[in-house]
Amino acid sequence: MLSDIEIAQQNRMEKIQVIADKCGLQPEEIEQYGHYKAKISFDAIRRLENEKDGKLVLVTAITPTPAGEGKSTTSIGLVQALNKIGKNAIATLREPSLGPVFGIKGGAAGGGYAQVVPMDDINLHFTGDMHAITSANNLLSAMIDNHVHQGNELGIDIRQLSWTRVLDMNDRALRNVTVGLGGKVCGFPREDHFMITVASEIMAILCLAKDLEDLKARFGRIVIGCNMQGEPVYVHQLGCEGAMALLMKDAIKPNLVQTLEHTPAIVHGGPFANIAHGCNSIVATKLALKLGDFVVTEAGFGADLGAEKFMDIKCHYAGIYPNAVVIVATLRALKMHGGVAKADLNSENVAAVTAGFVNLKKQIENMRFFGVPVLVAINKFATDTDAEIGELKRLCDEYGVPVELNECWEKGGDGGIDMAKKVAELAESSNPTPKTVYDVNDSIEEKIDKIVQTIYGGVKADFTANAKKQIKQLADWGLDKLPVCMAKTQYSLSDNPALLGAPSGFNITVSDIRVANGAGFIVCRTGDVMVMPGLPKKPAALNMDIEADGTIKGLF
Amino acid sequence: MLSDIEIAQQNRMEKIQVIADKCGLQPEEIEQYGHYKAKISFDAIRRLENEKDGKLVLVTAITPTPAGEGKSTTSIGLVQALNKIGKNAIATLREPSLGPVFGIKGGAAGGGYAQVVPMDDINLHFTGDMHAITSANNLLSAMIDNHVHQGNELGIDIRQLSWTRVLDMNDRALRNVTVGLGGKVCGFPREDHFMITVASEIMAILCLAKDLEDLKARFGRIVIGCNMQGEPVYVHQLGCEGAMALLMKDAIKPNLVQTLEHTPAIVHGGPFANIAHGCNSIVATKLALKLGDFVVTEAGFGADLGAEKFMDIKCHYAGIYPNAVVIVATLRALKMHGGVAKADLNSENVAAVTAGFVNLKKQIENMRFFGVPVLVAINKFATDTDAEIGELKRLCDEYGVPVELNECWEKGGDGGIDMAKKVAELAESSNPTPKTVYDVNDSIEEKIDKIVQTIYGGVKADFTANAKKQIKQLADWGLDKLPVCMAKTQYSLSDNPALLGAPSGFNITVSDIRVANGAGFIVCRTGDVMVMPGLPKKPAALNMDIEADGTIKGLF
């Protein structure tokens, strides 16, 4: 089997105008970025405003394990397969972050014969959205420090700033820094932190804003910290939301690319799936619904985290709702949930599949809570045995959930024909009534408790003294009537990454509560959340190269 | 008179394909970035390799004053005027830095009716070159800290790192920082600094590299600091020059835009004019020479700094040489050199023009040293009186240098017809033999002394103890046989910004000597050089806005 970059390089892409034409966009409605990428203008969005929406399919997964699930590969494979069976289907996906490319991952745009291309560009600077976010984020930081330096009219308390700088790089040395050293001309020294760009609230805002005006209004509502009286300080008080929006004037336009089989894909926005909501932009998904009869989109991590936030945050703000949900599972991951160590995954173990099914079952239950029809997609690996696959199918049948094999990684769209047929059937025949886990007007504690009970299968949330203080502050500020965004380990339904399967009887501990008021949600952290990754001992960067003729190596 | 952004917005641009076609580029040889910007592929560069070169015109200036000179406006106006008189002329210019846009400047792409457009995009993210440089620079920083953290095989001395991080933002709080705080998982704490992106050696390399291969080789040669034995540590020892080059794969392609009069302009690269050489990329200038019969390019600051480095660094590496030099002067600036305070510049003062002419005369002399025919272009301001203009013309006639009025700011190309005719005449009839101020094999002290004596009109350079130590180190390392890049105040021919006119009998003090070994020059600092600007009390960002319909405000 060839590597992802080799497959991508062998693929003969269509010019992006051809792809645009395929999905009904007019030539003037796209702005090309090279021959194979384009931004879609808001003229198109306005022209299509009153068109009927297509059917929305959400791809989510069981609780992730180190064995991998292949959610993006499934989403891309599914949209390829839907096109193979004659459906007009479009994928909307998240943009990968540049930083991790140089660390371990080496790239992220699907895999095998289910990729979006040009994968090299998508994994590098793409159309510059990440850089625009970095600039807007750091302009705000510079404006804050400058405001303090130039007299601090707003009385900003530099000991209580929650706004941090960002960089799109895996760089542990920037996690904790002291800025403003060097004496009077360099401002006031203070503690600061750099997060990776995708963790910026600017990214979450980009993905939740309706349009440029909404984007600017949300920038204005960002809380950067407190003043000396303990009152929140908003960006509109600093007056730079206009400049920040100006920096984002192109970033807010969705990006058009294609799959290896030349089906349109809109790749736009990629917020963290822990401290943010982990879904591509609302602008992209809503536009795709106007362009396609079927739209396949995805949410980060497992269904307990990504899909819950998709429903309670993204759908809440977008006024959309999925017609079907695909839950991606692998036999390898289920075997890990059933107690098998990573090293032993290559051996057949039917009993472990049976045992690990509890995790899949719980995630199916979670999606059924939302009243949406569910399909289980088995992302097939070469090591899967017929007996294991048979057992998983039997368990799904027994539980009354449709299940299909997904071999798109190996075969492209042809590997997902049955899956596509079933998805199309489910989505076409469903029209679910939107449902949420909690009411945004519940107290923060109630909202979290409802998620723990309904989705995680736990008892309740415990709050640290710090979290309680923060909840009181947000209530005092009147900023608590927003959806909550859970930042929890993705490796367990609980907040303990060691508890695989479907644990029960547990409490989760909430240690930190902050408002992302521009984005419009409250971030609830349970345990440590890494917002600035580091590089490994042998970074992927060491294997990367570009030759004189432009041949790229080491992106995979 | 309308503001620059208003003029730019009223202008009806040609589609970039039309501009590409005008300068003989084939449709497949450009990669569009939106409708009005494009990258030119290396296929075009290779196709044109054996074509005859056009005539090269360098635009430089008298010693800058706070009154302003309008070098870019003159370059753009001149190229517009050359096209008006039927010449196939192309401008090659520097890309503006994003950071200063939000500070005082608000934008930089010419002015009035002599601008390159789309000025908003050029001033914001443009085609992403600055962001690519930021990424490549900071990837190297992350790789250095990671190397130290993961065992420090190379024995890098974190007390002696010369490589710093960069950000394209005016942000004084980042001038001096402590990174790596937070304990063992966050690496080793150390002092670091952020420069503005245009000050990065990566930018200088981009502008001096011949092609992608040369770019990568130069990245490999960068010296990042010393090991514990005091030996230089090179990027190729870290092994990330390939990944850095990969990040720059599009940035190295020159950018095509247009002037307000639809003449082609290549805007590519914009290194600092103090710690770097201050000229657009060699790739851009050499390509333009293949495409145009005349190429107008510019160098930063006054002729003593920018033009000297253009000759001794850019021409040295590119194997090109100008056929004519235009020295931009304004009566306002000459009056300041003649002793008038900024507040009094609106009053007629012929005597001050006479007195201030010494500066222009010295800069003409400097350019004559290189054996290139010189034209003085008077960039006309509304406050200039006929008597003042008459006096300057008389002085130029007396000195035997041609002089023409430049009214392009107000009238576009039509305001520079006489200037264009004279420039074309000078350039067409000249074929100067390349000359340099020093031999690169001179010692560092000799090279600097020659510049001080030949160009600045001073006696010699004094070296601080620190500078002497650094010179010895570079000699020991065998890295001293490179051109020198003087980082001196732009406001005086001497190193004292208060000495206007044409001072003499002075020494300059060199306090810091570093090698930019990838770029291929030795940076010699005299006095403080600001490599990370700050924001003013009322940053331009406060006036910037973008409305729902996309109308931009506050870029000027």
For residue A236, give the chain B residue with the closest CA: B542
Average pLDDT value over all residues in chain B: 95
Cα first-last separation, chain B: 13
What does the pLDDT read at residue A227? 98
pLDDT digits (tens, 9 = 90+) for B89-98: 999 999 999 8
pLDDT digits (tens, 9 = 90+) for A78-108: 999 999 999 999 999 999 998 888 987 655 6
pLDDT digits (tens, 9 = 90+) for A384-422: 999 999 999 999 999 999 999 999 999 999 999 999 999
Bridge partners, residue B378, by sequence:
B329, B405
| Res B220 pLDDT > 60 | yes
Say if residues B540 and B5 touch (Cβ distance below 8 Å). Answer: no
Residues in chain B within 8 Å Cβ distance of A143: 535, 539, 541
What does the pLDDT read at residue B7? 87
User: B546 — contact with chain A (CB < 8 Å)?
Assistant: yes
Q: Is A190 part of the annotated catalytic residue set?
A: no
What does the pLDDT read at residue B107? 59
Alpha helices in B13-118 (DSSP H): 16-22, 42-48, 71-84, 98-101
pLDDT digits (tens, 9 = 90+) for B276-328: 999 999 999 999 999 999 999 999 899 999 999 999 999 999 999 999 999 99
For residue A27, give the chain B residue with the closest CA: B35
What does the pLDDT read at residue B116? 95
Say if residues B129 and B200 touch (Cβ distance below 8 Å). Answer: no
What are the two backbone dihedrals, phi and then psi, of residue A391, each rounded to the nearest 5 degrees? -65, -45
For residue B39, give the chain A residue with the closest CA: A34
What are the two backbone dihedrals, phi and then psi, of residue B34, each rounded to the nearest 5 degrees? 75, -165
Average of pLDDT values for B151-157?
98
Catalytic residue among A37, A55, A71, A525, which? A71
Tokens of B515: 């090698």
What does the pLDDT read at residue B108? 67
| Res A233 pLDDT > 70 | yes
What are the two backbone dihedrals, phi and then psi, of residue B317, each rounded to the nearest 5 degrees? -80, -30
Q: Is B73 part of the annotated catalytic residue set?
A: yes
What does the pLDDT read at residue A529? 87
Q: Which of B33, B173, B216 sits opposite A145 (nearest CB)?
A: B173
Cα B278 → chain centroid = 2
pLDDT band at A10 (very low <50, low <70, confident <90, very high): confident
Residues in chain A within 8 Å Cβ distance of B550: 42, 212, 249
| Res A452 pLDDT > 90 | yes
Q: Cβ–Cβ of B187/A173 closer than 8 Å?
A: yes
Q: Which of A138, A177, A546 sits opposite B169 (nearest CB)?
A: A138
What does the pLDDT read at residue B319? 97
Residues in chain A within 8 Å Cβ distance of B555: 246
Q: Is B383 part of the annotated catalytic residue set?
A: no
Q: Is A301 part of the annotated catalytic residue set?
A: yes
- Residue B86 class from Cβ within 10 Å (0-12 exposed, 13-18 middle, 19+ buried)? exposed
Q: Cβ–Cβ of A173/B179 closer than 8 Å?
A: yes
Tokens of A426: 């489910």
Convert B115-143 into a string of H (helix), E (strand) and C (coil): EEECHHHHHCCCCCHHHHHHHHHHHHHHH
For residue B532, give the chain A residue with the closest CA: A186
Of the candidates A203, A4, A170, A171, the one whose C-alpha atom is nearest the C-alpha of residue A98 is: A170
What percent of chain A is predicted at pLDDT more than 90? 91
pLDDT digits (tens, 9 = 90+) for A514-554: 999 999 999 999 988 899 999 999 999 999 999 988 899 88
Average pLDDT value over all residues in chain A: 95
User: B249 — contact with chain A (CB < 8 Å)?
Assistant: yes
Average of pLDDT values for B235-244?
98
Is B66 annotated as contributing to ligand binding? yes
What does the pLDDT read at residue B9? 84
Contacts of residue A28, Cβ cutoff 8 Å, sequence gap at least 6:
A41, A43
What does the pLDDT read at residue B1? 75
Produce one character per residue of A71-95: b if its CB has 16 or more CB atoms within 10 Å, e if not: bbbbbbbbbbbbbbeebbbbbbbbb
Q: Are strands A223-227 and A156-161 parallel, antiparallel or unpaired?
A: antiparallel
pLDDT digits (tens, 9 = 90+) for B353-385: 999 999 999 999 999 999 999 999 999 998 999
What does the pLDDT read at residue A106? 52
What does the pLDDT read at residue A533? 95
Q: Is B105 part of the annotated catalytic residue set?
A: yes
What does the pLDDT read at residue A108? 66
Catalytic residue among B37, B55, B71, B84, which? B71
Bridge partners, residue A226, by sequence:
A232
Contacts of residue A73, Cβ cutoff 8 Å, sequence gap at least 6:
A110, A111, A112, A114, A115, A379, A408, A409
pLDDT digits (tens, 9 = 90+) for A129-151: 999 999 999 999 999 999 999 99
Alpha helices in A348-406 (DSSP H): 350-369, 386-399
DSSP run (H or E) holding A42: helix A42-48
pLDDT digits (tens, 9 = 90+) for A475-527: 999 999 999 999 999 999 999 999 999 999 999 999 999 999 999 999 999 98
For residue B132, give the chain A residue with the closest CA: A125
Minimal C-alpha gap between A275 and chain B (Å) = 20
For residue B238, give the chain A residue with the closest CA: A542
Tokens of B122: 């050029």
Place of tokens 């006054």: B302
Bridge partners, residue B545, by sequence:
B553
Residues in chain B within 8 Å Cβ distance of A243: 102, 541-542, 544-545, 554
Q: Is A294 part of the annotated catalytic residue set?
A: no
Q: Are strands A374-379 and A324-329 parallel, antiparallel or unpaired?
A: parallel
Minimal C-alpha gap between A42 and chain B (Å) = 9
Average of pLDDT values for B394-422?
97
A205 CB-side CA count, 13 A: 30
| Res B527 pLDDT > 90 | no
Name the least confident of A2-16, A240-254, A446-460.
A2-16
pLDDT band at B35 (very low <50, low <70, confident <90, very high): very high
Contacts of residue B399, Cβ cutoff 8 Å, sequence gap at least 6:
B361, B364
Q: Cβ–Cβ of B128/A124 closer than 8 Å?
A: no
Say if residues B260 and B77 touch (Cβ distance below 8 Å). Answer: no
For residue A136, give the chain B residue with the closest CA: B169
Angle between helices A212-221 and A201-208 (to 10 degrees): 140
| Res B106 pLDDT > 60 | no
Amino acid at A512: D
User: A213 — contact with chain B (CB < 8 Å)?
Assistant: yes
User: A242 — contact with chain B (CB < 8 Å)?
Assistant: yes
Q: Is B42 part of the annotated catalytic residue set?
A: no
Q: What ipTM was reported for this prediction?
A: 0.96
User: B216 — contact with chain A (CB < 8 Å)?
Assistant: yes
Tokens of A327: 């839950």
Q: Cβ–Cβ of A146/B548 closer than 8 Å?
A: no
Q: Cβ–Cβ of A242/B545 closer than 8 Å?
A: yes
Q: What is the pTM of this model?
A: 0.97
Q: Cβ–Cβ of B168/A541 closer than 8 Å?
A: no
DSSP run (H or E) holding B298: strand B294-298
User: A16 — contact with chain B (CB < 8 Å)?
Assistant: no
User: A545 — contact with chain B (CB < 8 Å)?
Assistant: yes
Is B67 annotated as contributing to ligand binding? yes
Convert B146-210 into a string of H (helix), E (strand) and C (coil): HHHHCCCCCCEEEEEECCCEEECCCCHHHCCEEECCCCHHHCCCEEECEEEHHHCHHHHHHHHCC
Minimal C-alpha gap between A392 and chain B (Å) = 41
DSSP run (H or E) holding A233: strand A232-234
What percent of chain B is predicted at pLDDT more than 70? 99
Catalytic residue among B163, B272, B294, B381, which? B381
What does the pLDDT read at residue B100? 86
Minimal C-alpha gap between B23 and chain A (Å) = 19
Say if residues A447 and A484 touch (Cβ distance below 8 Å). Answer: yes
Produce one character per residue of B241-279: b if its CB has 16 or more CB atoms within 10 Å, e if not: bbbbbbbbbbbbbbbbbbbbbbbbbbbbbbbbbbbbbbb
Name the least confident of A41-50, A399-408, B1-10.
B1-10
DSSP per position, A491-512: T-SSS-TT--S---S-EEEE-E
How far is Cα B75 from Cα B81, in angstroms, rounded to an integer?
Answer: 10
How far is Cα A550 from Cα A556, in angstroms, rounded to an integer?
Answer: 16
Mutate which of B186, B197, B211 to test chain A, going by most A C-beta atoms within 10 A?
B186
Residue B342 CB neighbours (<10 A):
12
- Which value, to the nearest 10 degrees, does the dihedral of the CA atoms of residues A307, A311, A313, A318 take? 130
Average of pLDDT values for B510-539?
95
pLDDT digits (tens, 9 = 90+) for B419-461: 999 999 999 999 999 999 999 999 999 999 999 999 999 999 9
Say if residues A253 and A263 touch (Cβ distance below 8 Å). Answer: no
Contacts of residue B308, Cβ cutoff 8 Å, sequence gap at least 6:
B366, B437, B451, B455, B486
For residue B171, give the chain A residue with the closest CA: A142
Average of pLDDT values for A358-364?
98
Q: Which of A34, A169, A173 sits opposite B31 (nearest CB)?
A: A34
User: A542 — contact with chain B (CB < 8 Å)?
Assistant: yes
Mark which residues 476-505 of A lie under 8 Å from B by CB. none
Q: Cβ–Cβ of A142/B177 closer than 8 Å?
A: no
What does the pLDDT read at residue A300? 86
Mark which residues 57-116 of A lie under 8 Å from B by CB. 98, 102
What does the pLDDT read at residue A69? 78
pLDDT digits (tens, 9 = 90+) for B321-340: 999 999 999 999 999 999 99
pLDDT digits (tens, 9 = 90+) for A290-310: 999 999 999 989 999 999 999
Catalytic residue among B55, B60, B63, B73, which? B73
Alpha helices in A85-162 (DSSP H): 98-101, 119-123, 129-149
Bridge partners, residue B553, by sequence:
B545
Is A70 annotated as contributing to ligand binding? yes
pLDDT band at B6 (very low <50, low <70, confident <90, very high): confident
